[in-house]
Structure 1
Amino acid sequence: MIIASLAAAVPSIAAITGRECEVVVHDLRCPERSIVAIANGHVSGRQIGSPLIGGPMNDVALKALARGVNPNPEILAYQTKTSDGRVLKSTTTLYYNLDCAPFAALCLNHDLSVPLAAARWLDQLVGATGAVVEPGSEPGHPSRDFGLVLDELIAECLGREPGPVSELDREARLRIVGELEGRGAFLLRGSVVRVADALGISKFTVYSYLDEIRSSG
């Protein structure tokens, strides 16, 4: 009932916030296809049925949920980024059931490309020398299924390591699992096996790494 009510409100919210503000409703009980309503999906390249992990990077709400930590219901005005580098201003409202488990989220992600460009122009106009963040200019990627998104996250993490997978030591594998954990990858069913296969280790080793990461966090 709450999710349906939130979904019904999405067009009205989007009409007020404008075309560059993505409005999303997530069903957190189904992270593989969590988006049940969305307006202005061009901001992140997502659509109804897209997975939870396919959204903006550095999402503090998602990181908290991935670590099993229930954050405050409202997480206001934090900065995230799209996969192509555009800066977003994001706000998340979480909804909890009677067992204090989050089951839905209403998220607003405002693309700051235009205001940042305006700020840069004003900076040049008045001759100031302060640096302004450079947003990207390319459109968001088309919506992808969660398997492809997860594979891309894994490849991104592996790409930062100096050697091939076969030469990764425990520290490197632990670092990769930690980054994937922070990006919410393990909220998805089947992700542990997929990560284990990519790293050439057993799923039990991945679980062991996750226990170590979560206990130290």
Structure 2
Amino acid sequence: MTNIEILQSYIPMVDFIADICGPCYEVVLHDISKPDASVIAIRNNHITGRKIGSPMTDLALKILKQKDYVDKTFITNYDGYGDDGKVFLSSTYFIKNAQKELIGMICVNNDITDIKKFNNSYEIILERFKYREENNKDDKYEENIKNSLISVANSIISKTINSINIPPSRMSIDEKVKIVHELNKEGVFLLKGAINEVAEQLEISEATVYRYLNKKI
């Protein structure tokens, strides 16, 4: 096959890639033998406004000059930029003949302009939630949003008990005293009904909870 016949055999591949990827992907087939009018097939050219007969890009010319294609089959996911401020994630496949000579390239340009704009807006929004008071760097706060006091109490109690990783039935008195004091630090006993919840989960009486609270550790 001649070089042009090889390149023409890739034209269906241009349509194939474009149909798979969708309208945000420009797919271009270049014939490197004519740099001034290298584009011989293109899909979704609304993205850059190029057409058949358009010239090579600066990167394509650089690839030819530096012979980056010699040891590579393709290059992927590099940055591309359009004259109108568009941003692309681009990839290029090198087409070679039987003598391993570069004769053409298929370039795929993913228009990520909208994604970039969205990401920038997203980063701005995130900045609103990154503030931490300098004096509280060592404090770590977490919040579980619940619909009732009992749910709040149960959430804190369960979390504290689970941190010891021992079932209440096997806990020592000292371990239960420690949990009661930890729960007190968490403010659990400010909640109505918390004493009863703690007593039930630790399998002790309410009176014992009060006694543990008064016990120094």
Calculate the TM-score normalised by the size of structure 2.
0.51
1:169 matched residue in structure 2: none
In the alignment, the residues of structure 2 paired with residue 129 and residue 80 of structure 1 have an alpha-carbon distance, to the nearest angstrom, of 32
Alignment RMSD:
2.3
- Secondary structure (helix, strand or coil) at the match of 1:48 reads coil
Q: Where do 5+ consecutive residues of structure 2 fail to align?
A: 131-217
1:160-175 map, 5 Å: none
Percent identity between matched residues is 31
Alignment of 1:120 onto 2:104:
no
1:215 matched residue in structure 2: none
Alignment of 1:103 onto 2:103:
yes
What does the per-residue CA deviation read over 1:158-214, in whole Å, with 9 as the maximum and x for residues that have no partner?
xxxxxxxxxxxxxxxxxxxxxxxxxxxxxxxxxxxxxxxxxxxxxxxxxxxxxxxxx
- Secondary structure (helix, strand or coil) at the match of 2:46 reads helix
1:94 matched residue in structure 2: 94
C-alpha contact (below 8 Å) 2:69/2:94 kept by paired residues: no
Q: Which has the higher contact order (CA 8 A, sep 6+)?
A: 1
What does the per-residue CA deviation read over 1:70-107, in whole Å, with 9 as the maximum and x for residues that have no partner?
34121111112112332211100001123332101111
2:11 matched residue in structure 1: 7
In the alignment, the residues of structure 2 paired with residue 126 and residue 100 of structure 1 have an alpha-carbon distance, to the nearest angstrom, of 50
1:199 matched residue in structure 2: none
Quote the offset at 1:128 in angstroms: 5.7
In the alignment, the residues of structure 2 paired with residue 34 and residue 9 of structure 1 have an alpha-carbon distance, to the nearest angstrom, of 17
- Secondary structure (helix, strand or coil) at the match of 2:76 reads strand
Quote the offset at 1:12 in angstroms: 2.4
Which amino acid counterpart does residue 65 of structure 2 have in structure 1? Answer: A
- The structure 1 segments of at least 4 consecutive aligned residues displaced by more than 3 Å after TM superposition are 67-71
- Secondary structure (helix, strand or coil) at the match of 1:43 reads coil
C-alpha change, 1:126 and 1:34, in structure 2 (3 Å) is same
What does the per-residue CA deviation read over 1:14-50, in whole Å, with 9 as the maximum and x for residues that have no partner?
1221212110011112222211110111222200111
Which amino acid counterpart does residue 105 of structure 1 have in structure 2? Answer: M
Which amino acid counterpart does residue 12 of structure 1 have in structure 2? Answer: F
What does the per-residue CA deviation read over 1:102-143, in whole Å, with 9 as the maximum and x for residues that have no partner?
10111101111111112122223333699xxxxxxxxxxxxx
Q: 1:45 aligns with which of 42, 49, 59?
A: 49
C-alpha change, 1:116 and 1:4, in structure 2 (3 Å) is same
Q: Where do 5+ consecutive residues of structure 1 fail to align?
A: 131-217
1:70 matched residue in structure 2: 69
